[in-house]
């Protein structure tokens, strides 16, 4: 399936897109978030986490590398690997437990964990465009293709 292009004009549109994606995933899968600092990776992650009912803040876990959320029977792990010096460090976080297939993992700066992170269902690349953000969604699994198809509909 070819990549899907979307456009979000403003932060609220980004949060709404995240909430739709949350519903589609049903809380399972691995999503890589690409884009420069300030692209909107954390904003989209916030929309996803809030989509599962979280009401508090959702910040980039820059220093702790990962922030877990338990929302009802869903488990979401939000990673920001910007400060990861070596992919091997991920082993010390006990990441195997996070990627057990029963959780949703959102990963900012996944390239820093190359070789240790499991493969993504979906790559999302965000880039500033005019006053909003262009998003390119590239699915790598049947379930991610279904999410993309639903998002374009």
Residues that bind ligand ADP (CB under 6 A): 8, 10-11, 13-14, 35, 37-43, 60, 108, 132-133
**Nearest residue (CB) to ligand ADP, 6 versus 146:** 6
Minimum distance of Mg ion from residue 38's CB (angstroms): 8
Closer of 1 and 128 to Mg ion (Cβ)? 128
Residues 6+ away with beta carbon under 8 Å from 90: 81, 84, 113, 116, 117
Positions in the binding site for Mg ion (CB under 5 A) = 41-42, 60
CB of 33 to ligand ADP, least distance (A): 7
Beta bridge partners of 68: 77
CA distance 120 to 105: 9
Residue 34 partner contact from Mg ion, ligand ADP, none using kind-dependent CB cut-offs of 5 to 8 Å = none
H/E stretch holding 136 reads strand 132-139
Do the bridges between strand 104-108 and strand 4-8 make them parallel or antiparallel, or are there none, so unpaired?
A: unpaired
């Amino acid at each position: 399936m070819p990549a899907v292009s979307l456009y979000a004009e403003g932060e609220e549109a980004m949060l709404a897109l995240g909430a739709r994606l949350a519903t589609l995933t049903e809380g399972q899968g691995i999503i890589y978030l690409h884009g420069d600092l300030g692209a909107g990776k954390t904003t989209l992650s916030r929309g996803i986490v809030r989509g599962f009912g979280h009401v508090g803040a959702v910040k980039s876990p820059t220093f702790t590398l990962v922030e877990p959320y338990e929302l009802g029977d869903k488990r979401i792990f939000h990673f920001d690997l910007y400060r990861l010096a070596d992919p091997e460090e991920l082993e010390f976080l006990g990441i195997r437990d996070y990627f057990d297939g029963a959780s949703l993992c959102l990963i900012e700066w996944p390239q820093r964990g190359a070789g240790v992170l499991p493969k993504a269902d979906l790559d999302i690349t965000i880039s500033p465009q005019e006053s909003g953000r262009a998003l390119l969604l590239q699915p790598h699994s049947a379930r991610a293709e279904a999410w993309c198809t639903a998002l374009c509909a």
